[in-house]
Amino acid sequence: MESASTASPASAQKPEIRTLALWMLGMATMVFVIVVIGGITRLTESGLSITEWKPITGAIPPLNEADWVAAFEKYKRIPEYTEINGPAGMTLAGFKTIYFWEWAHRLWARLIGYALLLPWLWFATCALLGKSGNGGLRGWLGGFRLPPGYLLRIFALGMLVALQATIGWWMVSSGLLVGTDVSHFRLATHLLVALLTMAGMLWTALDLFALTKNNNARPARLTGYSLAILSVLVIQLLLGAWVAGL
Ligand code: HEM
């Protein structure tokens, strides 16, 4: 049996790597949940109810009647209200319902961002301090190091989440001035980037689980066959989003 002193760094960190894998699995689940909330947002036609993009303060919904009236007044300026919901007699209560789904969608998106960013910052700090010795803050942080390549890989996933949030607003803005719906091209982009992000997180989780079983496990690669299936799937998803968006 390997003694603690002769164990390789990877085998010494196996429980931690399993925790990392579970973190990534949790992230993929969070993205799955937002895909469902996004679908509800679409189906309840709630997507254009918040006419502003405030990444930080937007987490707080209107808290009193005056704020609600102000938010409703902003909504009343867009074609979806003047051409559809206004003539149909939408009330403030009806507006609050559609506002809820768009707000929940954006709030969950923020939580995804924090759930990825905060642990990543901790790992990045450990990696940085690791270069400058073992004592002090690094010892206090526990000195855990991500397996090689994963700091960058998880950073890339974070960038995808940030890109997705930006695409979210890019999509919303396409429905505020002209027409009564968001652009189906932007909607398709939003859907495909969501699925790409979820796939990337799941892939990373599975690669990490493989590392807990075998120290030398290498990240899985796409084969020609799986690439062919993926291409057909992407075309089908794209067409599906266009049909839904139109
Ligand atoms: C991690 C971040 C996000 C993910 C993974 C995500 C994912 C999704 C998905 C999968 C849909 C359903 C698309 C469809 O039915 O084809 C959706 C809908 C929507 N998302 Fe997001 N979203 C994110 C962040 C945001 C943000 C930050 C905004 C706004 C600033 C936003 C605005 C919307 C809107 C308005 C809809 C409904 C579109 C419609 O009315 O047709 N999303 N989202």
Q: Positive or negative, the Cα torsion across 41, 46, 47, 53? A: negative
What's the pLDDT band for 10 if we cut at 50, 70, 90? low
Question: Is residue 43 situated within a structural domain?
Answer: yes
Confidence (pLDDT) at 183:
96
Q: Positive or negative, the Cα torsion across 30, 171, 118, 209? A: positive
Separation between Cα atoms, residue 229 and residue 120, nearest integer Å: 32
Question: Is residue 83 situated within a structural domain?
Answer: yes
Question: Is residue 128 situated within a structural domain?
Answer: yes
What's the pLDDT band for 215 if we cut at 50, 70, 90? confident
Question: Is residue 1 situated within a structural domain?
Answer: no
Residues with CB under 6 A from ligand 1: 31, 34-35, 38-39, 41-42, 47, 53, 102, 105-106, 109, 112, 161, 164-165, 168-169, 172, 182, 187, 190-191, 194, 197, 241, 244
Say how many Å lie between the CA of residue 38 and the centre of ligand 1: 5
Nearest residue (by CA) to ligand 1, atom 25, is 168
Which residues have C-beta within 8 Å of that of residue 163, sequence separation ≥ 6? 193
Confidence (pLDDT) at 134:
56
Given a cut of 90, whether residue 143 has pLDDT beyond it is no
The pick from 190, 237, 239, 242 for probing ligand 1's pocket by mutation, whose C-beta has the most ligand atoms within 8 angstroms, reads 190
Q: Residues 20-44: pLDDT tens digits? A: 999 999 999 999 999 999 999 999 9
What's the pLDDT band for 137 if we cut at 50, 70, 90? low
Confidence (pLDDT) at 126:
81
At 160, which helix (H) or strand (E)?
helix 150-173
Given a cut of 50, whether residue 6 has pLDDT beyond it is no
Say how many Å lie between the CA of residue 81 and the centre of ligand 1: 20
% of the chain exceeding 90 in pLDDT: 80
Neighbours of 199 (CB within 10 A): 13
Given a cut of 80, whether residue 5 has pLDDT beyond it is no
Question: Is residue 199 situated within a structural domain?
Answer: yes
% of the chain exceeding 70 in pLDDT: 89
Question: Is residue 6 situated within a structural domain?
Answer: no
What's the pLDDT band for 4 if we cut at 50, 70, 90? very low
Question: Is residue 37 situated within a structural domain?
Answer: yes
Please name which of 226, 214, 204 lies closest in space to residue 23, comparing C-alpha atoms. Answer: 204
Separation between Cα atoms, residue 102 and residue 53, nearest integer Å: 12
Q: Residues 82-136: pLDDT tens digits? A: 999 999 999 999 999 999 999 999 999 999 999 999 999 988 888 887 765 555 6
What is the domain range of residue 189?
11-245
The pick from 42, 75, 105 for probing ligand 1's pocket by mutation, whose C-beta has the most ligand atoms within 8 angstroms, reads 105
Nearest residue (by CA) to ligand 1, atom 17, is 38
Which residues have C-beta within 8 Å of that of residue 56, sequence separation ≥ 6? none
Given a cut of 80, whether residue 138 has pLDDT beyond it is no
Given a cut of 80, whether residue 241 has pLDDT beyond it is yes
Domain count, the chain: 1
Q: Positive or negative, the Cα torsion across 91, 62, 175, 40? A: negative
CA 238 to chain centre: 19
Question: Is residue 176 situated within a structural domain?
Answer: yes
User: What is the per-residue burial (b if ≥16 Cβ within 10 Å, else e) of 143-178?
Assistant: ebebbeebbebbeebbebbeebbebbebbbebbbee
pLDDT mean over 192-213 = 97
Q: Residues 154-184: pLDDT tens digits? A: 999 999 999 999 999 999 999 999 999 999 9
Given a cut of 60, whether residue 2 has pLDDT beyond it is no
Average pLDDT, the chain: 91
